């Protein structure tokens, strides 16, 4: 019976090493596509997982240390070192989750804006505006609460439009360009039938994430806008994408012409 118990214990400990090894492998392989891909915090999460992984390895090796040495000091240290690695790693992962899901929630809210020349309000949906100025775009957003997601915050600040700044700098109402999951979560949280989003910075998002990843993000955003009866306008300058990319974008988003 003791031998059976010991065998099960060793297999379980080795299994924990294998499972956490896969964690680490997949996180490193797909680091640009997972929610933790947010600059400095992404590195914090990986470091935490490495510590937990190291702790499980130390825990497994504890089974062999008494056979390798008779030193009571080494054996005592080996019995606690694995727990130290695991608790520190788990604490770092908990800190990451707190920063992402609690502390780092973007507080800015959409707001109504004054429009001097009102046009017919857009129906809910996802639109593509080619070479349209923000001042022209807001003319079709009568009675909507507007939130801009932009590389050019000063433009929207001058128009009195609340914004989220896409930047690698840390600060209030900012978002890291590779953190598309957090951006999508923010939009979904704030979306409703009275809200419109202006995404002005698509070229930068493509530069940082790649075209395919951004298209997946836009497809998800479009679906959520439809579900919540909300509006998304994506702006982009003419000539910034090649013909193939622009064609894909036009298939996903309805082209908007403002006269």
Q: What is the pLDDT of residues 205-225, one digit of tens each?
A: 999 999 999 999 999 999 999
For residues 139 and 77, membership in a common domain is answered with no
Contacts of 188 (CB under 8 A, 6+ apart): 224, 228
Q: What is the rounded CA–CA span in Å between residue 38 and residue 249?
A: 25
The pLDDT value recorded for residue 175 is 92
For residues 180 and 149, membership in a common domain is answered with yes
For residues 88 and 165, membership in a common domain is answered with no
For residues 54 and 152, membership in a common domain is answered with no
Q: Which domain-ending residue is among 36, 70, 103?
A: 103
Q: Structure pTM?
A: 0.64
For residues 243 and 118, membership in a common domain is answered with yes
Q: What is the rounded CA–CA span in Å between residue 32 and residue 57?
A: 27
For residues 146 and 217, membership in a common domain is answered with yes
Q: What is the rounded CA–CA span in Å between residue 49 and residue 160?
A: 43
The pLDDT value recorded for residue 31 is 66
For residues 67 and 174, membership in a common domain is answered with no
Closest listed residue to residue 252, CA positions, set 80, 118, 125, 81: 125
Q: Which domain-ending residue is among 103, 125, 148?
A: 103
Alpha helices in 109-172 (DSSP H): 134-137, 153-158
What residues of the chain score a pLDDT lower than 70? 1-2, 31-41, 100-105, 112-121, 259
The pLDDT value recorded for residue 40 is 58
The pLDDT value recorded for residue 36 is 42
Q: Which domain-ending residue is among 103, 122, 142?
A: 103
For residues 89 and 168, membership in a common domain is answered with no
For residues 10 and 125, membership in a common domain is answered with no
Range of the domain at 23: 2-103
For residues 86 and 120, membership in a common domain is answered with no
For residues 41 and 120, membership in a common domain is answered with no
Instruction: State the CATH number of the domain containing residue 209.
Output: 3.40.50.300
What is the tally of structural domains in the chain?
A: 2
For residues 150 and 193, membership in a common domain is answered with yes
């Amino acid at each position: 019976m003791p031998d059976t118990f010991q065998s099960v214990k060793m297999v379980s400990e080795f299994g924990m090493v294998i499972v956490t090894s896969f964690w680490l492998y997949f996180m490193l392989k797909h680091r640009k596509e997972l929610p933790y891909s947010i600059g400095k915090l992404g590195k914090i999460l990986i470091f935490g997982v490495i510590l937990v992984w190291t702790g499980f390895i130390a825990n497994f090796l504890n089974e062999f240390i008494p056979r390798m040495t008779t030193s009571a000091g080494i054996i005592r240290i080996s019995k606690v070192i694995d727990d130290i690695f695991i608790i520190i790693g788990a604490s770092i992962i908990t800190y990451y989750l707190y920063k992402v899901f609690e502390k780092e929630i973007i507080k800015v809210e959409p707001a109504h804006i004054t429009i001097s020349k009102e046009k017919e309000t857009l129906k809910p949906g996802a639109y593509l505006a080619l070479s349209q100025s923000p001042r022209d775009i807001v003319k079709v957003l009568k009675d909507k609460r507007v939130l801009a997601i932009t590389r050019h915050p000063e433009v929207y600040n001058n128009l009195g439009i609340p914004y989220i700044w896409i930047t690698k700098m840390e600060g209030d109402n900012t978002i890291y360009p590779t953190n598309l999951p957090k951006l999508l979560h923010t939009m979904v949280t704030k979306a409703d039938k009275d809200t419109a989003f202006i995404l002005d910075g698509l070229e930068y998002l493509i530069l940082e994430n790649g075209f395919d990843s951004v298209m997946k993000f836009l497809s998800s955003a479009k679906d959520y806008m439809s579900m919540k009866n909300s509006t998304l306008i994506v702006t982009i300058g003419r000539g910034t994408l090649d013909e193939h990319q622009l064609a894909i974008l036009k298939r996903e988003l309805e082209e908007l012409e403002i006269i």
